[in-house]
Amino acid sequence: MTTADYATYIAGLPRVLAGAATLFRDERGRVLLVEPNYREGWALPGGTVESDEGESPRQAARRETAEEIGLDVAPGRMLAVDWTRGEGRPPIVAYVYDGGVLPQERLDAIRLQEAELLSWRLVDRADLISYLRGRHATRILAALEVLDSGAGAAELEDGAPVTA
């Protein structure tokens, strides 16, 4: 196969997008959520993996967290990976990493990226469903379950656990 043939082959492959987010908690176990200005609902700090730049999901989670809330935190272990089918877009593989527990002084240091975010807040687990839409809620709840149980990462499809 020539280089041109290989390039044509690669160009014809299906596209899959990737996103990465970081799950932070405070000392009371509340989850840090951000409110985007470009869509309804709340989310974890995170965003799109810039794969054309060679960025990995872990690197994206760190970069997006720094951009969105002003905290440069190396992500901990992966808690969940979720394959979500496209709704007028290619499928997305969403990675959730553990950001750990933020003490009050780190929370006080949060500075929002005003171009994309309206606000942030700490939300009790029982109230997450009120803030999150569909698979965002089930993805975060699955990640919290991994933290509670000490199990390996949760594998999800459209927010639902995959059973082997």
In this structure, are residues 23 and 95 in contact, taking their beta carbons and an 8 Å threshold? Answer: no
Is 29 inside any structural domain? yes
Instruction: Give yes or no for residue 52 having a pLDDT over 90.
Output: no
For residue 142, the model assigns a pLDDT of 96
Q: Tell me the residue range of the domain where 119 lies.
A: 16-161
Say if 2 falls within a structural domain: no
- Whether 97 maps to a domain, the answer reads yes
Q: Is residue 23 a part of any domain in this protein?
A: yes
Residue 5 in this model has a pLDDT that exceeds 90: no
With cut-offs at 50, 70 and 90, classify the pLDDT of residue 131: very high
Q: Which residue has the higher pLDDT, 4 or 157?
A: 157
How many folded domains does the chain comprise?
1
Q: What is the CATH number of the domain that holds 24?
A: 3.90.79.10
What's the pLDDT tens digit per position in 60-79?
A: 999 999 999 999 999 999 99
Average pLDDT rounded to a whole number, residues 156-161: 92
